[in-house]
């Protein structure tokens, strides 16, 4: 058995960070990961199992304050941190020869007009721009070959994952009438907003409610546009907050530029994802539901075609904390080290 890889997680106390730590701890090709608190968190120690009792009884999972000295033997660093923290720390890790998988939005976007939504203020703008160019968007089903060689992988956003995977096969086949516009009506559980409580994510605000937010201004819009080579006039993306802990369902409305039969659409999706372990294409008219992909790394896709054979509705479901975050990060790890994509995930 080859030597095991040493990993570390900065931000292990967040929802995605916890899920990531849980997956890494059971991965057969990894040493027990180092777990770091975020720099902004109080305390210099503790145990992850005290925050997440589901980990109790497994020998302890000590947390430590972040330092470069502690990373001397680490091969790969996961950043489950706020966008500005990842933007500041990733260059230092890469310069030290540590590979990075970043779960934030710090390195996902190439085009300045899309990146401006984050308002980054880089201390070395030239170095940040150079690293932005080198960063690989970590959607394995689309960018697998580039991920294998990457020093910095920008893990996709959860909404973006659900929308991009649904649309990519049809856009690649050039069967979508882009001039008529694409509408994505996407809904997420509350964990997608992160662990820090806000007035919007308070129980009283969320329970027995459904609300739209960040209309025409959500941070994942730029990812969808860039990865699918769409312009802003071709997409309306509207996110909604569901009163559930986790899971995403995107309902996507498109017009086809020619008449198609259901079997053609089915083949388009299935052929595009043939051999892709973590995408499941349902047989029409069966549609995905959030509960089917919950607690898994699957993206579930389904569709219904109107009687005119031109109007198409796609449905895409992911678990926002797994395929939309930590699970996809482990999938990227597996690609980077030449392992099967389901290692530690199956």
Beta-carbon neighbour count of residue 24 at 10 Å? 25
Q: Write out the catalytic residue numbers.
A: 158
Q: How far is CA 156 from CA 108, 138, 275, in A?
A: 7, 6, 21
Asked if 290 contacts 249 with a C-beta cutoff of 8 angstroms, the reply is yes
Residue 107 to residue 156: CA distance in whole angstroms: 10
With tokens 């080198």, the residue in question is 134
Asked if 174 contacts 334 with a C-beta cutoff of 8 angstroms, the reply is no
User: What are the start-end ranges of the H helices in 103-172?
Assistant: 112-115, 125-134, 140-149, 158-172
For residue 320, what are its two tokens?
């926002």
Judging by beta carbons within 10 Å of its beta carbon (0-12, 13-18, 19+), is residue 210 exposed, middle or buried?
exposed
Q: How many CA atoms lie within 13 A of 327 on its CB side?
A: 22
- Determine phi and psi for 160, rounding to 5 degrees: -60, -40
Residue 329 to residue 78: CA distance in whole angstroms: 8
Q: Find out whether the peptide bond into 121 is cis, omega within 30 degrees of 0.
A: no
Residues 6 or more apart whose Cβ sits within 8 Å of residue 243: 190, 206, 207, 208, 209, 210
Of 264, 168, 265, 260, which is closest to residue 223 (Cα–Cα)? Answer: 168
Residue 239 to residue 192: CA distance in whole angstroms: 11
Judging by beta carbons within 10 Å of its beta carbon (0-12, 13-18, 19+), is residue 149 exposed, middle or buried?
exposed
Residue 307 to residue 141: CA distance in whole angstroms: 31
């Amino acid at each position: 058995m080859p030597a095991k890889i040493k990993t570390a997680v900065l931000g292990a106390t967040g929802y995605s960070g916890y899920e990531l730590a849980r997956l890494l701890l059971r991965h057969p090709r990894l040493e027990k990961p180092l777990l770091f608190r975020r720099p902004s968190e109080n305390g210099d120690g503790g145990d992850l199992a005290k925050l997440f009792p589901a980990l109790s009884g497994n020998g302890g999972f000590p947390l430590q304050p972040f330092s470069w000295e502690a990373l001397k033997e680490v091969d790969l660093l996961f950043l489950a941190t706020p966008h500005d923290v990842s933007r500041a720390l990733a260059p230092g890790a890469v310069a030290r020869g540590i590979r990075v998988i970043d779960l934030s939005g710090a390195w996902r976007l190439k085009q300045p007009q899309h990146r401006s939504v984050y308002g980054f203020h880089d201390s070395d703008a030239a170095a940040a721009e150079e690293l932005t160019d080198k960063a690989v968007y970590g959607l394995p089903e689309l960018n697998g070959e580039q991920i294998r060689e990457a020093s910095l992988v920008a893990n996709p956003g959860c909404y973006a994952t659900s929308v991009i995977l649904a649309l990519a096969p049809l856009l690649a086949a050039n069967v979508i009438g882009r001039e008529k516009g694409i509408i994505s009506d996407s809904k997420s559980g509350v964990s997608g907003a992160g662990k820090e409580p806000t007035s919007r994510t308070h129980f009283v605000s969320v329970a027995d409610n459904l609300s739209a937010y960040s209309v025409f201004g959500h941070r994942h819009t730029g990812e969808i546009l860039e990865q699918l080579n769409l312009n802003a006039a071709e997409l309306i993306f509207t996110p909604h907050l569901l009163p559930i802990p986790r899971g995403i369902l995107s309902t996507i409305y498109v017009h086809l530029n020619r008449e198609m039969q259901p079997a053609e659409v089915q083949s388009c999706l299935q052929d595009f994802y043939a051999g892709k372990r973590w995408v499941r294409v349902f047989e029409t008219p069966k549609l995905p539901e959030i509960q089917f992909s919950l607690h898994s790394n699957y993206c579930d896709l389904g569709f219904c075609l109107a009687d005119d054979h031109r109007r198409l509705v796609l449905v895409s479901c992911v678990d926002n904390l797994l395929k939309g975050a930590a699970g996809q990060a482990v999938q990227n790890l597996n690609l980077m080290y030449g392992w099967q994509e389901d290692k530690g995930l199956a």
